[in-house]
Amino acid sequence: MTGLLKHLPWVYLLIVNLVEFFTMYLDKQRAKRGKWRVPESELLFIGLIGGGIGGLLAQQLFHHKTRKLRFYFAFIFGTLVTIAIIYYRYKR
């Protein structure tokens, strides 16, 4: 069991960043088709809890939400959360 717990921070970061990336992709596709959109609050929340890298990558690849500064700030904060998790993991 300790082996799984050892990798839990990496699993969390991978999942939250993939979720953010694909949610941004889905929202962009829906925006193009004029369909129901993912609420901005959800995109921001996922970015803030560690999905910043996925969000920043999706912004650049899909040119989505690039004019909204709050997304940059949320994704940068989420990236700092990622750095903090990695630092805490290796500090011990």
pLDDT of 1 over the 70 cut: no
Q: Which residues contact 89 (CB under 8 A, 6 or more apart)?
A: 9, 10
Q: What is the C-alpha separation between 92 and 67, in angstroms, rounded?
A: 40
Taking only the tens place, the pLDDT of each residue in 10-32 is: 899 999 999 999 999 999 999 99
* pTM listed for this prediction: 0.89
Q: What is the C-alpha separation between 43 and 74, in angstroms, rounded?
A: 9
Q: What is the C-alpha separation between 92 and 75, in angstroms, rounded?
A: 26
pLDDT at position 7 is 82
CB-based burial label for 78 (10 Å; 0-12, 13-18, 19+): buried
Range of the domain at 77: 1-91
Taking only the tens place, the pLDDT of each residue in 54-67 is: 999 999 999 999 99
Number of domains in the chain: 1
